[in-house]
Chain A
Amino acid sequence: MKRFAQLFQQVDATTSTNAKVQALAHYFQTEQPRNLVWALYLLLGKTRRRLVTAHTLRKVFLQVSAMPEWLFSDCYAQVGDSAETIALLLQDIPLRQGQPAVDDLNLPLHEWMERVIPQVKDLETETELVACITSWWAALDNFEVFVLNKLLTGAFRIGVSEKLVIKGLAVATGIPEAVLAHRLMGDFAPTLGFYQQLLSPEATERSPSQPYPFFLASPLEVDRFQTEDLSQWQAEWKWDGIRAQLIHRSGECFIWSRGEDLITHQFPELQPFLQSLPSGVVLDGEILCWQGDRPMHFNHLQKRLGRKRVSQKMITENPVCLIAYDLLEWQGKDWRNYPLCDRRQQLLELLESFPSPVARLSQALEFSSLADLEQLRAEARQQGAEGLVLKARNSPYLVGRKRGYWWKYKLEPMSLDAVLLYAQAGSGKRANLFTDYTFALWQGQDLVPFAKAYSGLDNQEINELDKWIRKHTLEKFGPVRSVEPSQVFEIGFEGITESNRHKSGISVRFPRILRWRKDKSATEADTLVAAIALLKLMDRSTSAPG
């Protein structure tokens, strides 16, 4: 635990990518395998289980500290994270007094994870829970308490991406990043057996469910693309659904989301199709709600996501379809290094041999010039797409986001100028800074809230706006402040639909701040009528749910 907390501290203490990779590599080189697999498991965010809620942790702390609850809340508002707030507060509270000798808690990470922490599940009374957690806190230093709290609450995120963890492991082991990335995909158990498989020099037997790492398109660099030979490129629509990997191996079917969640059971209508394919096949594609020859609005798909059980009614009202982009495995063989044109040809043949109403090949669009591409992009909204994806015909299927092979060329977002009406402090990195904003449009003499946005300003603007908000607060409602309606922002969004859940009667997709319009006064902001005009424009292209 000490070593893992130290690693966490080192990685957290720096924003330098190099320093993070070095710290990770050093840790991986020197740590015992049994701890190492647990560290990987935690760093890659594979834990989904929450043993104790933040609320319970807070209750335990309040009991042992005798601190007034309001003071804890004030502290939490400043820190934005319960686990950290408690760790900071414990610096000044002598828990060690009267606690049993706890030297034996100086245990390696795997002991903590396999033996010690799971104990909380068997505790029956609150008194036992308080005693148990308090004895751990008493045995650990400040930073270890923070790490432990994070482990307990299951919200284990650290300032390091999956990519950096894999890079650190590659430096430590000499195994290429792409191989490690693949071996670490999907679910794994943090065991010695897995460790041996992971670091084995030869290709290893993998479990049938294991997905490949996704390859992602990067935003188009227009200057760079201009010099390309266009005949070597393929254009497809960029769909606004969920990216997925569909696997059929040894009679079993699996569907993975890009976030590496297994979503097989959310889409039962795709299973007969997947089952009908020959074993040893892996497809990459987009799952969309689809009707006739066009996608339905994303709101339909939204209803299908994250459900444990999908009713027949749900399926009938929100029918899904797979738009197949790529073929990653064929006849049990990894095809990712073949050029795109070959993979696509095989994919085409496959879909022709096993036709299904729920599977379509992503269409290759006709173009011969950049002007054609611009024209296509302009038509994307009418197609119900959100732009184009451009792929080099000879591109292999790589790992992650590597520029130069696949580009995404998205539509310009729709935008409206709106007035800042409410602000709320963020959490985590943005705790104690007003960064969650509500924007409004004019309806006659009234301002009606129409969108919340959290992103789009740079740090300097965030700080400036935070100061402005503090000085121009009209009223406080709990954590929310209403402010003088005078600041205008250009809000960009991808789509707009009717909504009876919002006072404005509309909801927008992916709203974000494009610009702070200091040149505009509140009276110059847009009206709800303008938003409804955009809505009508959208309606012509996609069918929104009623």
Chain B
Amino acid sequence: MPLITVRPEGLYCEIGDFFIDPWRAVDTALITHAHADHARAGSHLYVATQISEGILKKRLGSQIQFQGVEYGEPLKFGNIWVSFHPAGHVLGSAQIRVEYKDEVWVVSGDYKRCVDPSCAPFEVIPCHTFITEATFGLPIYTWQPGATTVKQIYDWWQSDRDRPSLLFCYAFGKAQRILAELTQFTDQTVYLHGAIHSLTESYRTAGVSMIPTLSTSDQPRSYKFKGDLILAPPSAHRSSWMKRFSQPQTAFASGWMAVRGARRRRGYERGFVLSDHADWPGLVQTVRQTKAQQVYVTHGQSEALARYLTEQYGLEAMPLKTLFEGEGDIE
């Protein structure tokens, strides 16, 4: 009997009677990480890593019933053992391991294999069945180390000190990773859009070391941000919020920026290739390291990755339809 199945509410473990990252309200929701497509409101009990509590409550409301766990701490749901292990995606992100009798399944959530100073590194968990994401599941996606890309961002910022430099990136995870990487190059203050500012505070509370930051909204009206770096979520691009900055240079940091067409159609002046998801070599390598014989591929390029794993490595790999979105192509 499969340990995990897909129900209309989401990924379900019948023996333990819980859901993982459900997309509807349920009794018990185990949450891999606090991104919106994995952590949705309305469930009765949320179980997630202790370190993600602050952000999860900011997103779902402080009134939620929350049970925190440490990485690796064994929990028992009915007859099944459950533990959370670092996924290297964002602060507090976890893979969820479930064990029943001699069988082990792992749900990866979202993950990456590159070094990221803002969260715990991915841990390989051997298992029989691995449920993996495939946001960037095509061999055209191969990442450089984050530090290399952030150095490019730093150079771009320094190349024009007469204008504000507006960098768009996801508010939770990507922004803090950039702020943490930037400590290698500078200690100048970076300015943050409100949405990023509040999440960054949670990272600081969790002890992540980042360069100094201030909220843009706390600056006096007369302040011009000349030569400053400002981080903002993609939704702020071309919004009225942007009017505050006179003739800014703009850029977007995302894995999608690897492809020229994707970069050009967005209308940012520059694109930096930086993703919190595994690239193609990372996905293939991870699946192989888990030694799993059975692989379910959830969101992204699920068909391509599943077919490749089947053909090249003889694994029993198949796509699994879910409502996860990964790094939204369009935000």
Contact = CB atoms under 8 A, between A and B. Distances in A.
Interface residues of B, number: 26
Contact of A463 (B269, B308, B330): B330
Interface stretch (B72-80, B89-97, B137-145, B187-195): B137-145
A19 B307 CA distance: 43
Interface stretch (A104-112, A423-431, A521-529): A423-431
B269 A71 contact: no
- Assign chain A's interface to a size class: 20 to 34
B243 interface: no
Contact of A89 (B140, B260, B265, B266): B140
Chain A facing B: main interface SS: helix
B265 A85 contact: no
B149 to A, nearest CB: 13
Interface in B278-301: 280-281, 301
A266 interface: no
A81 B265 contact: no
Contact of B265 (A14, A74, A433): A433
Nearest to B330: A463
Given A13-B270, A159-B264, A459-B265, A78 B138 contact: yes
A63 B250 CA distance: 40
Nearest to A76: B140
A15 B269 contact: yes
Contacts of B26: none
A88 B265 contact: no
B261 to A, nearest CB: 5
Given A16-B249, A16-B269, A463-B330, A84 B260 contact: yes
Given A92-B281, A431-B259, A74 B264 contact: no
A466 interface: yes
A159 B311 CA distance: 39
Contacts of A88: 139-140, 142, 258-259
Given A67-B139, A75-B140, A432-B262, A15 B267 contact: yes
Nearest to A435: B265
Contacts of A84: 259-260
A13 B260 CA distance: 9
B269 A85 contact: no
A488 to B, nearest CB: 23
A498 B313 CA distance: 56
B66 interface: no
Nearest to B144: A91
A278 B262 CA distance: 54
Interface string B306-320: 011001000000000
A92 B280 contact: yes
A67 B138 CA distance: 12
Among B260, B262, B301, chain A packs the most CB atoms within 10 A around the CB of B260
Interface string A70-104: 11001100111100110011011000000000000
Interface of B: 138-140, 142, 249, 258-262, 264-271, 280-281, 301, 304, 307-308, 311, 330
